Structure 1
Amino acid sequence: MANIKFNYEYTNKINAGFIGCGAHSFRNVYPTFDYAPVELVAVCDLNLERAELYRKRFGADRAYTDYLEMMRKEDLDAIFVVLNFDKNGRPIYPKILPDIMKAGIPVWVEKPISYTTKEAEELMELQAKHNVQVLVSNKRYFYPSFEGAKKIVESEKFGGATSITGRYPLTLTPFNEELGEREGLHWFLDICHPVSGMQYLMGDIDEMCFVDHQPSGNVHTLFKFKSGAIGSLHLPSTQSETSPNENYEVIGNKENIIIDNAIRLGYYQGKKGSGEYGKAPSFIGDDPSNGPVHWEPEFSLGQLHNKNLFTQGMVQSVNHFAESVLENKQVERATLRDAWHLTQVFEAYKDNKAGNWIKIG
């Protein structure tokens, strides 16, 4: 794994504009540029005072309130877009991205990409037409825990993934019989979080079936993946606030991996000690070197690997995008096509009653 460079160590950088000056971008996106080949030249927000604050804080040259004006006046290699939702709780990106893509400017954009599959498909058509790089920041494609898990899952020794289980707290609203869909799903768009992690490890979903408990909104879902593997996802909206948000387990051939609380990776392998059932004196295998392995960050030192920007893959996501632009190649992870697949899963929940198998794609 290559060392991270500090921004000032790069000799070749992309000149970037940034649309959006909100709290999320302040915490999680702008600070990534300290560790990426990105030269921030302009920021844009409807609130000029806020845009000026961000310009000064993060070292941009100019601030704008109109992103089209910023695109006209600046010589940009790429644009980062991090926006809130509209008054109906729907992502604004499908209204903004076409202007950027038609101009041929690569774009890094926050998730969720859209509220409907149709919107995502229209963006995919534009991407193909204008041959522009797009990265949708579904960050589990870049979590170190997920990257490590994927390497194990794809190893010959693991024997191929046969099943996966996951847990992530979300609330599914009741099905509205008159409308033929579920309403108030603003936060349920976060289904892209757990499903992106499962898709990264297991591949695309072929079919799904879910049951929900109302009025709690808790959900259990079964998945069939195109690979032939199976899976389940528990969405416990009423879990304790002090509980970790998520965990996952993938089963292979006499081996399994666990991702706990997004940062702890456990690899279970090997055999128990020999001996007759009920009479074996030791729980340690005959070969202790062929046994479970566990990884987690240490937090006593000021390392990069224990910073939230790295444990959640934000820096890695920005670097993957910036390097793709610099090398004039397509984004390989967290693609627009991946985001489209996740939107299909969201629509399956939104548009269907519980209890039926739903074809994805």
Structure 2
Amino acid sequence: MFGVAKRELLSVDQPRIGVIGAGRHAKANIYPVVRLAGAQIAAVCARHLDRARAAAGEFGAEHAYASPAEMLRRERLDAVFVIAPEREQVGLVREVLRAGLPVFAEKPVGLDEHEAEEIASLAARTGQPVMVGFMKRFAPAYVQLKQFMHEPGFGDPLSLHGMFAIGSRPGWDDEWFIKTGGIHYVDLCRYLFGEVTEVRGFGNTREIQVDQCFTLLFEHGEIGGLFFAGVPAWTRHHEELTVTGTHGFARVENLLRIAAHLDRPASPDRPRWQTIDEEDRVLTAVHTSASGGLKDLYLNGYVGEISHFLECLRSGTEPQPSAADNVKTMGLCDRILRAIRS
């Protein structure tokens, strides 16, 4: 709970939201979901007023601004979404917190552990929650993966290995790739297995062609390995993550398919090669036009994360991942970079 800083929402049924940022990602993935999840976009702020007005008109907002300070001063809001360029996030989140409002902020919130800690400390002092947009935690495939890990027949989790690969972009290097793209999978490692005690890594990055691999040792002895790439070969985008337990494994492929296997011999009194008893469970996304274009917003986790944030506003509980949790993810990113560079 947020104690004295908690206040009644202006509208429990339809919280009033201000949004800072009107770029491509915000308009494609955040604005539609805020409305889909039951909130009202009351005001939009962007660096250029014409873009703010265009977004306000498209998504039904009452007012548009070119100044965050003016929006925060004039509007009656329940929370603010900060969906801005990465280097601007910290300053904008700081401004919203000092105005006494809860924040949902796209990752990364801070470009290193120090900046992340600054925001976490400010959130604690102001008593206002900050949720960081690690939407992969809410993607149905990874939610199901974690459920498989806790099934009795899965056994003790032992290890994970995965990859995230996309095309390269101008200005990328090892640090920018990890902290703006790969960070989702760094965060997933913590979400699934807990904190990391040791990191080792290698990089083969050449100018803007990013190529990295690293291994992780977790606090309870589990191990992990990840491969990240930002090269033309992977322009089509590929991600997968496999978790192995003592009696089962589960693999997510591109958020569209999850396959799980549990070692359950059908007959203990004869060799298994004499029968057929290997059992896999496969879940896939349905192929349909009925979603009207909303399918990706659900499968990527945007609907899940924003619905969670709004429910926490209504209940007065702290959303996760919080600003404090973000400090640990950013700290792990910093450690991975040091390992790759050493």
TM-score, normalised to structure 2, is 0.87
Residues 1-361 of structure 1: pairs in structure 2 closer than 5 A: 12-85=13-86, 91-169=87-165, 185-189=175-179, 190-215=181-206, 217-238=210-231, 240-241=233-234, 244-271=237-264, 276=271, 280=273, 282=275, 284-285=276-277, 291-303=279-291, 307-331=295-319, 333-352=320-339, 354=341
- CA distance 1:65–1:163, shift in 2 (3 Å): same
User: Is 1:170–1:218's contact at 8 Å kept on the other side of the alignment?
Assistant: no
- CA distance 1:183–1:36, shift in 2 (3 Å): closer
Q: CA deviation at 1:212?
A: 1.9
| Residue ranges of structure 2 left out of the alignment (5+ in a row) | 1-10
Q: CA deviation at 1:300?
A: 2.3
User: Is 2:167–2:235's contact at 8 Å kept on the other side of the alignment?
Assistant: no
Secondary structure of the residue that 2:189 maps to in structure 1?
A: helix
- Kindly provide the CA deviation profile for residues 160-180 of structure 1, in whole angstroms up to 9, marking residues without a partner as x: 2111001112799xxxxxxxx
Secondary structure of the residue that 2:153 maps to in structure 1?
A: coil
- Kindly provide the CA deviation profile for residues 23-69 of structure 1, in whole angstroms up to 9, marking residues without a partner as x: 11111000102321211111001111111111110000000111111
Between the aligned partners of 1:170 and 1:202, the Cα distance in structure 2 is 25
Between the aligned partners of 1:136 and 1:315, the Cα distance in structure 2 is 14
Q: CA deviation at 1:11?
A: 6.7
Between the aligned partners of 1:268 and 1:156, the Cα distance in structure 2 is 13
Amino acid of the structure 2 residue aligned with 1:253: T
User: Is 2:20–2:44's contact at 8 Å kept on the other side of the alignment?
Assistant: yes
Between the aligned partners of 2:74 and 2:308, the Cα distance in structure 1 is 27
Secondary structure of the residue that 1:169 maps to in structure 2?
A: strand
Between the aligned partners of 1:111 and 1:186, the Cα distance in structure 2 is 12
Secondary structure of the residue that 2:90 maps to in structure 1?
A: helix
Secondary structure of the residue that 1:162 maps to in structure 2?
A: strand
User: Is 1:168–1:235's contact at 8 Å kept on the other side of the alignment?
Assistant: yes
Amino acid of the structure 2 residue aligned with 1:68: A
User: Is 2:200–2:336's contact at 8 Å kept on the other side of the alignment?
Assistant: no
Q: CA deviation at 1:340?
A: 1.6
Amino acid of the structure 1 residue aligned with 2:327: W
Q: CA deviation at 1:262?
A: 2.0
User: Is 1:305–1:311's contact at 8 Å kept on the other side of the alignment?
Assistant: no
Between the aligned partners of 1:214 and 1:143, the Cα distance in structure 2 is 29
Q: CA deviation at 1:309?
A: 0.6
Secondary structure of the residue that 1:256 maps to in structure 2?
A: strand
- CA distance 1:209–1:169, shift in 2 (3 Å): same
Q: CA deviation at 1:80?
A: 0.6
- CA distance 1:22–1:330, shift in 2 (3 Å): same
Instruction: Give aligned-pair identity as a percent.
Output: 24
Between the aligned partners of 1:292 and 1:335, the Cα distance in structure 2 is 36
Secondary structure of the residue that 1:51 maps to in structure 2?
A: helix
| Residue ranges of structure 1 left out of the alignment (5+ in a row) | 1-9, 86-90, 173-181, 356-361
How many positions carry a matched residue from both structures? 324
User: Is 1:146–1:201's contact at 8 Å kept on the other side of the alignment?
Assistant: no
Q: CA deviation at 1:130?
A: 1.3
Amino acid of the structure 1 residue aligned with 2:90: P
Q: CA deviation at 1:276?
A: 4.9
Q: CA deviation at 1:120?
A: 0.5
Secondary structure of the residue that 1:246 maps to in structure 2?
A: strand
TM-score, normalised to structure 1, is 0.83
User: Is 1:204–1:225's contact at 8 Å kept on the other side of the alignment?
Assistant: yes
